[in-house]
Chain A
Amino acid sequence: MTSVRGGNSASAGLKGRKTGLLPLALWLGPILFLLLFFFYPLASILRVSFSRAEGGVLSPFIEVLSSASHRGVLWFTIWQAALSTLLTLIVGLPGAYLLARFKFRGRSLLQALTGIPFVLPTLVVAAAFNALLGPNGWLNVGLMELFDLAAPPIRISNTLTAILLAHIFYNTTIVLRMVGDFWSHLDPRITGAAQVLGANRWQTLRHITLPMLMPAIITAALLVFIFDFTSFGVILVLGGPRFATLEVEIFYQTIPFFNLPVAAALSVLQLACNLAMTVAYTRLSARLSRPLHLKPRTYAQRRLIDRRSRLMAALTITVLLVLLIAPLAALATRSFMRLQPERGQRQVVSQGFTLDFYRQLAVNPRQSLFYVPPTIAIGNSLGFAAATVVLALALGLPASWALARDREALSSRIFDPLLMLPLGTSAVTLGLGFLVALDTPPLDLRASPLLIPLAHTLVAFPFVVRSLTPALRSIQPRLRHAASVLGASPRMVLRHIDLPLVGRALLVAGTFAFSISLGEFGATAVIYRPEYPTVPVMIYRFISQPGAINYGQALALSTILMLVCGGGMLAIERFRIADVGEF
């Protein structure tokens, strides 16, 4: 009996396209979720917005496109994202090479440390750069003290440089992870073959390594680009009023101006750009991806023996540490330091170590009824993040599985780009959509504690799918066939073959979901209820209020968030190394 069943499922696996029903069943959950919590709210807010426009649906578009300042915003959004992506690749690729191909002491620590920036909320990143390079940051305060200057010598606040630095800081990990991971599993004999055939290092890199890495580089670059394209917190805090991406402009149009028709038109514009990028990306990656013979990582790694590779390693590690760790160190230390007088206390400048910023976190200064101490906000954020992980994995796994089974199936070709859409949709718009659409029973979720995890799941979903699908796809069909011939039912194949092999990818995807939820600010800023604030909401509140105490509290809260995110990341990194095997 068992063998008969095994035989059947083996042949079913070979002719996957003919089984029909399974892919549809897999798609059911994710699609229902997207319909209810993405398309429906989006459609609602767009309808409401455009219905307010005097002069028809097209008039806001005409207003946006005929306005030089809005065109400027669009142009700035595109080129700053392209420039940031390019710089991120330049910084990230040598690091990816180092982590992929070499064994050295401190390798896993370096990998874990460089992973921390990515899981940090944009507001924390902005605060960290502020603490290092801002007018009250370490560098300026130090230089002023040293040379007895009256004004800060480094004026990086509200410049493009600050934005680019923060984007590189933020996204280098994506390149390190995605490209490095792929690179570490490439068969080194293929480059060996090229060398023996007369290619020098440079030619091998150009003709063999780079083309083979292309799918990974393009995937990573696309993610980085989309991140930079929809950048919100970094621009808001570091760019100042002079710079606005589409997302920031949507926020300004929505919250202070309440110009919903223009906000909606900008959202549609952003969505269209994103759809174009996503479609281009899915086409490109399908054409580029090759069945590569992935090898276990240890097989491909060597030690740093010759002088050239040691020099390269030292240089790369220095750049990564300075760029990625210095702002974090600045943030942490700055949160314990009082460097400037409190307002109205110009005479009493007590500089030095202080725990005041942390003590203030649990204090309700104005005895306000609506004041929620930041310590409660931390609990809220963790709870929301946990719910997001569960939701995102539960929805992401079936979708990734369906994509991995057969990317050429009609359902995959339709749904694959759709899954990516939430990524490029204005989170602010989405938040508004939630408020407008989910207000009638049975879907009255405005007061539900689930509202925020649902929004976060939507934002995290594309990342979860993108990190799970390649891992699922890399499981060779013959492993599944071998299992089913040995009598494993499809469910047992999933449990004993697919899940253990995908365990690491699940961890990575879960980390993504967790950190995205902890740091999400755009949608949360719109839909959060005053009695359940999240940590980023609190940070923004503190940072947008004047005074050293507020600045200090923002830094203190950012430091706590950094420790929580970074600590989780390090723990997962350790767990990953200890327990989950490589391919």
Chain B
Amino acid sequence: MGLRVEQVTKSFGETLALEDVSFEVSHGEIVAVLGPSGCGKSTLLAVIAGLEIPDSGIVYWNGETLQGVAPHLRGFGLMFQDYALFPHMNVFDNVAFGLRMAKMSGQAIKTRLEEVLDLVGLRGFEERDVNTLSGGEQQRVALARSLAPRPKMLMLDEPLGSLDRTLRERLLLELGEILRRVDQTAIYVTHDQEEAFAVADRVVIMNEGKVVQTGTPQAVYAQPASIFVARFLGLENLLPGTARPEGGRTTIETDLGAFSVSGQFEGDVTVLIRPNSARLDEKGKLKFEARLLEHSFRGTICRAVFEVNGTRLTFEFLSDVDLPEQGHTTVLSFDPSTAIQVLQ
């Protein structure tokens, strides 16, 4: 039970913003909707909130249709990209707005406000003018405002989109923690896979108005369903190949040579080589002579770009690994069974 979106389609004039979108969110689950900008994520939230009416398809809550239910009667929360704080109200009035609409008594509003402002760390900000707050503070006010009426489900539209990187990383952890502490059912919309993976129980990946893959962050990262998903998740080692089934296995010819993988494939395929699968010794089943083109240090890991048989491949190693000097060659090996995935 929870939210079920069934075959929702929505177009604006000529442009198709959502095409046959279906997915579910269970109680207490945080689902990230992940996709490049303009893929229809914000429209999806507007449809679920009731602010836009879909051309076709139905949104259900606990099995009951929300068709024809006005936005203010749905009991969902929506935190907008760049927050949409009411500019003519102070922090208190912004956060109390939903409670006042629910006709809560003055004392109850005060108590609840103390709770949520504590939760987001904004006690003492009650009288502040929202226009004078920093980006991070505005974001907290927006979060407090959408949490205050205890929404059945909270939708967050790029909640960290307009913040700088350091603040983003800190708030991301905090946000996830706050949502889990109150066991909040939530949809988290973002174009940033790191954010999605950090906060979500499950991700729904969208492209051009369609859902292209759903699953846990681990599963999606381990088994991207398409070239788009692989590229979007930052997996760059994609090579064209030709597949030929042989017995129970498949042999694939690529510029790197031929490998044998399990499963049945035929014809033109794309081979994904995982970036964390390579070793700088001869212990893997497949061995190559590789020339180091460039490398960059990224904290605990480092990223190195090699040229292997005229193909650029990027791999990640722990930072303490012994890389050859730039332009020099080394032996690189990996195991096809774990390192390779075939995308059709």
Residues of A whose CB lies within 8 Å of any CB of B are 187, 189-190, 192-200, 203-204, 207-208, 211-212, 214, 288, 290-293, 305
Contact = CB atoms under 8 A, between A and B. Distances in A.
A196 B76 contact: yes
Nearest to B83: A193
B145 interface: yes
Contact of A192 (B53, B70, B84): B84
18 contacts: A190-B87, A192-B51, A192-B78, A192-B80, A193-B80, A196-B49, A196-B74, A196-B146, A197-B98, A197-B146, A197-B149, A198-B75, A198-B98, A198-B101, A198-B149, A200-B70, A212-B87, A305-B53
Contacts of B71: 192, 195-196
Contacts of B86: 190, 193-194, 208, 212
A206 to B, nearest CB: 11
Choose among A193, A195, A197, A292 the residue with the greatest number of B CB atoms under 10 Å from its CB.
A197
Contacts of A194: 86, 97, 101
B77 A196 contact: yes
B264 interface: no
A193 B78 contact: yes
Contact of A197 (B46, B51, B88, B101): B101
A291 B87 CA distance: 7
A192 B49 contact: yes
A69 to B, nearest CB: 45
Contacts of A293: 82, 87
A200 B72 contact: yes
Nearest to B53: A305
Contacts of B82: 293
Contacts of B75: 198
Contacts of B145: 193, 197
B1 interface: no
B54 to A, nearest CB: 12
Contacts of A195: 49-51, 70-72
A198 B84 contact: no
Contacts of B84: 187, 189-190, 192-193
A190 B51 CA distance: 12
Nearest to A198: B101
B102 interface: yes
Contacts of A290: 87-88, 131
Interface in B125-175: 131, 145-146, 149
A23 B86 CA distance: 33
Contacts of A198: 72-73, 75, 98, 101-102, 149
B49 A197 contact: no
Contacts of B53: 305
Contacts of B78: 192-193, 196
Contacts of B85: 190
A277 B107 CA distance: 40
A211 B87 CA distance: 10
Contacts of B72: 195-200, 203-204
B131 A291 contact: yes
Interface in B21-67: 46, 49-51, 53
A117 to B, nearest CB: 32
Nearest to B74: A196
Nearest to A210: B88
B70 A207 contact: no
Contacts of B80: 189, 192-193
A212 B88 CA distance: 7
Given A195-B72, A203-B101, A208-B86, 16 more contacts: A190-B87, A192-B49, A192-B78, A192-B80, A193-B86, A195-B50, A196-B50, A196-B51, A196-B78, A197-B145, A198-B73, A199-B101, A203-B72, A204-B72, A212-B88, A291-B87
Contacts of B46: 192
The 5 tightest CB contacts between A and B, nearest first, are A197-B98, A198-B101, A195-B71, A290-B87, A196-B78
A126 B80 CA distance: 51
Nearest to A195: B71
A195 B86 CA distance: 12
A414 B71 CA distance: 47
A254 B86 CA distance: 53
A290 B97 CA distance: 19
A193 B87 CA distance: 12
Contacts of A207: 97
B89 to A, nearest CB: 8
A313 B233 CA distance: 48
Contacts of A214: 88
A304 to B, nearest CB: 13
A291 B82 CA distance: 14
Interface in B100-136: 101-102, 131
A194 B146 CA distance: 10
Contacts of B88: 211-212, 214, 288, 290
Contacts of B51: 192, 195-196
Contacts of B76: 196
Nearest to A292: B87
Contacts of A193: 78, 80, 84, 86, 145
Nearest to B79: A193
Choose among B50, B74, B97 the residue with the greatest number of A CB atoms under 10 Å from its CB.
B97
Nearest to B46: A192
A572 B85 CA distance: 36
A292 B88 CA distance: 9
A388 B76 CA distance: 56
Contact of A199 (B87, B97, B131): B97
Contacts of A187: 84
Interface in B315-341: none
A293 B50 CA distance: 23
A300 to B, nearest CB: 13
A197 B87 contact: no
A193 B151 CA distance: 13
Contacts of A291: 87, 131
B264 to A, nearest CB: 49
Contacts of B73: 198
A196 B86 CA distance: 13
A211 B97 CA distance: 14
Contacts of B146: 196-197
A207 B102 CA distance: 14
A70 B334 CA distance: 102
Choose among A193, A195, A291, A292 the residue with the greatest number of B CB atoms under 10 Å from its CB.
A193
A204 to B, nearest CB: 8
A291 B88 CA distance: 9
Contacts of A199: 72, 97, 101
A308 B94 CA distance: 30
Nearest to B155: A196
A193 B46 CA distance: 10
Contacts of B70: 195, 200
A212 B80 CA distance: 18
B88 to A, nearest CB: 5
A193 B95 CA distance: 12
B99 to A, nearest CB: 9
A197 B101 CA distance: 7
B1 to A, nearest CB: 21
A293 B98 CA distance: 22
Choose among A196, A203, A292, A293 the residue with the greatest number of B CB atoms under 10 Å from its CB.
A196
Contacts of B50: 195-196
A290 B53 CA distance: 31
A193 B83 CA distance: 9
A195 B71 CA distance: 6
A198 B76 CA distance: 9
Nearest to A187: B84
